[in-house]
Every structure is written in C-alpha cells, then in structure tokens.
C-alpha cells in the first residue's frame, strides 16, 4: 500500500512538473545567466595578485646591441636623405 501511495504522489509531482516545465526551465536559465554575470563582475573588479604584477614588470622587451646599432645607422643615413629632399623642394628645377 505504501508503494501505491508513494507512486501516486510521484505521479502528482510529475504532472505538476510537466505543467510548469517551461517556467522552471526559464527560471533555471535566468539563474545560470545571473550567476555568470555576477562572477564576471566579481572577477573584473578583483585586484591582480602580486605574482601577476611581478611577471608583467619583468617581461620587458630586450633588444640586442647589433639591432640598436643598425637602427642608429639607418637613422643617421636618413638625415642625409631628408636634407636632399628638402633641398629639392626648395629649388625643384635645380639639377
């Protein structure tokens, strides 16, 4: 008998669930989205850890000396080219 009563109660519960399944599903989706938005906001406002700050400060760009010398050489060469162009702009018909 008790199995018949529990089975009847389970059927009533199943009927109620099927009646409100769309509403319960939408409520579940809203709760999940709300939790995700709350976590994003909490993580967005969290201060960085000291190890993350240290790793960002130590990760600087290193340029070898040969590259620096080449850039300075190109910069020195471009000054003479710029003066050549500026002279040509002042007197375009001079050969």
pLDDT of residue 33: 97
Domain borders along the chain are: 1-53, 61-95
pLDDT value at position 87?
Answer: 72
Average pLDDT for runs of 10 along the chain of length 95? 79 83 92 96 86 75 84 72 68 67
∠ CA 61-66-69, rounded to 5°: 100
Spatial separation of the C-alpha atoms in residues 91 and 95, rounded to whole Å: 9
Please tell me the distance from the alpha carbon of residue 32 to that of residue 35, in angstroms, as a whole number.
Answer: 5
pTM: 0.42
């Amino acid at each position: 008998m008790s199995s018949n009563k529990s089975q009847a109660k389970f059927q009533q519960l199943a009927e109620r669930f099927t009646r409100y399944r769309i509403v319960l599903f939408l409520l579940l989706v809203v709760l999940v989205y709300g939790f995700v938005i709350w976590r994003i906001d909490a993580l967005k406002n969290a201060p960085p850890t000291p190890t993350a700050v240290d790793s960002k400060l130590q990760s600087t760009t290193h340029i070898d000396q040969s590259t620096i010398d080449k850039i300075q050489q190109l910069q020195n060469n471009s000054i003479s080219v710029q003066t050549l162009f500026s002279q040509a702009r002042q007197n375009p018909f001079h050969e």
